[in-house]
Amino acid sequence: MAEIAIRNVEKSYGKTAVLHGVDLQIANGEFLVILGPSGCGKSTLLRMIAGLEGITQGEIAIDGRVVNALEPRERGCAMVFQNYALYPHMTVAENIGYALKVAGLPKAERDRRVAEIAQIVGLEAFLARRPSELSGGQRQRVAMGRAMIREPKVFLFDEPLSNLDAKLRVQMRLEIRRLHQRLQATSVFVTHDQIEAMSLADRIVVMNQGRIEQAGPPRLLYAEPATRFVAAFLGAPAMNLLPATMIAKNRARMTDGTEISLDPERFAAEIGQAVEIGIRPEDVMIVWPGSEGAHQVEVEFTEDMGSSRLIHTRLGATEFTVLQPTAQIEAEGALHITLPEDAIHLFDAGTGRRLAGKATLIGLRASAAA
């Protein structure tokens, strides 16, 4: 149990800066997911908490104690690595029990604890095997067991699920969540998979190019992305982003002439400002031809997902996807849609910052700020 404070932390390799001043508070028992594309510095940040990377500037404190100068073993963190990093010459039992052996616990005590952990992660039958004789999912469990046995204050996960196949990934995701509910240990989980992030996190931190774009509960980030980057990164299928220019307080025009009406009360955009209009595929309404405010889109192809259908279209010259929750309409040729004003997000085309947004989640925003 511990809280982590990351204060204005910077990291550079030679002259290349990879983290530009990251500030983050992680509460005791929180499950925090750091989400971002490869190369955004998320793993570096995690490794700095673990003590595997030096800290160029700023400080990291665990439980109020600044750990900048401490060795990994003195920080009370346990880590699950992306490629598991199991010791190939040791059995499962030796792998799990290695930390206790290093700590000098007597063998009987070690064996008891290993058996206990093996039972939690479901590996009792495999204790005598070597990692090379295990499947991917089993190796993952060994890695988790090895982290758990130390009863660490902090769990660090470095993309632990990315080497597993899709089905196993979903299963292990649930197990990690279950484990966290049981142990209630502070956890930091790094991933580039937004579904993993959404499903695991108490709070998500979206990183991009060494900076934090936005931090908050999954629901808030999804409903009110603070930047165009967050909007595009969270959600599958991704949010539609339409470049346009404001031509009136309540209208924006795309380059091909398509005009989209906006609620002037909700947006703080200037006339003439270059903007991007965002709308999630599931918020798009399919309407009858000739309905008020309808836009015609050209259907290119559809993807049937079983429970829903994804229709790839073009709105003027821009790619545009529509998610149809139930596959009732046969979409071919042209489709008529409207963009509900309360579902529209507006971003400044230059800075990428959110200009305004839905007002439905004020309660959630207030709780996140608290």
Would you tell me which residues interact with other proteins (CB under 8 A)?
Answer: 50-52, 71-73, 77-79, 81-83, 85-89, 98-99, 102-103, 132, 146, 150
Q: Write down the least CB distance from residue 152 to other proteins, Å.
A: 9
Q: Write down the least CB distance from residue 128 to other proteins, Å.
A: 15
Tokens, residue 186: 């502070």
Residue with Cβ nearer other proteins (74 or 303): 74
Q: Write down the least CB distance from residue 52 to other proteins, Å.
A: 5
Distances (CA, A) of 326 to 77, 309, 323, 353: 46, 7, 9, 33
d(Cα 81, Cα 88) in Å, to the nearest integer? Answer: 15
Write out the H or E segment, with its range, that includes residue 182.
helix 166-183
d(Cα 140, Cα 121) in Å, to the nearest integer? Answer: 10
- The dihedral over CA atoms of 178, 181, 185, 186, expressed in degrees to the nearest 10, equals 90
Residue with Cβ nearer other proteins (45 or 339): 45
Q: Write down the least CB distance from residue 129 to other proteins, Å.
A: 14
Q: Write down the least CB distance from residue 99 to other proteins, Å.
A: 4
Beta bridge partners of 80: 157
Q: Write down the least CB distance from residue 148 to other proteins, Å.
A: 12
Angle 331-337-341 (CA atoms, 0-180°, nearest 5)? 150
Identify whether the C-beta of residue 153 lies closer than 8 Å to the C-beta of residue 101. Answer: no
In degrees rounded to 5, what are phi and psi of residue 5? -120, 125
CB neighbourhood size of 8 (10 A): 11
Residue with Cβ nearer other proteins (102 or 248): 102
Q: Write down the least CB distance from residue 125 to other proteins, Å.
A: 23
Q: Write down the least CB distance from residue 249 to other proteins, Å.
A: 56
Residue with Cβ nearer other proteins (88 or 257): 88
Residue with Cβ nearer other proteins (34 or 77): 77
Residue with Cβ nearer other proteins (99 or 134): 99
Residue with Cβ nearer other proteins (50 or 284): 50
d(Cα 184, Cα 179) in Å, to the nearest integer? Answer: 8
Write out the H or E segment, with its range, that includes residue 5.
strand 4-13
Closest CA to 32 of 209, 212, 165, 170: 212
Residue with Cβ nearer other proteins (65 or 314): 65
Q: CA 163: distance to chain centroid? A: 17
Identify whether the C-beta of residue 180 lies closer than 8 Å to the C-beta of residue 130. Answer: no
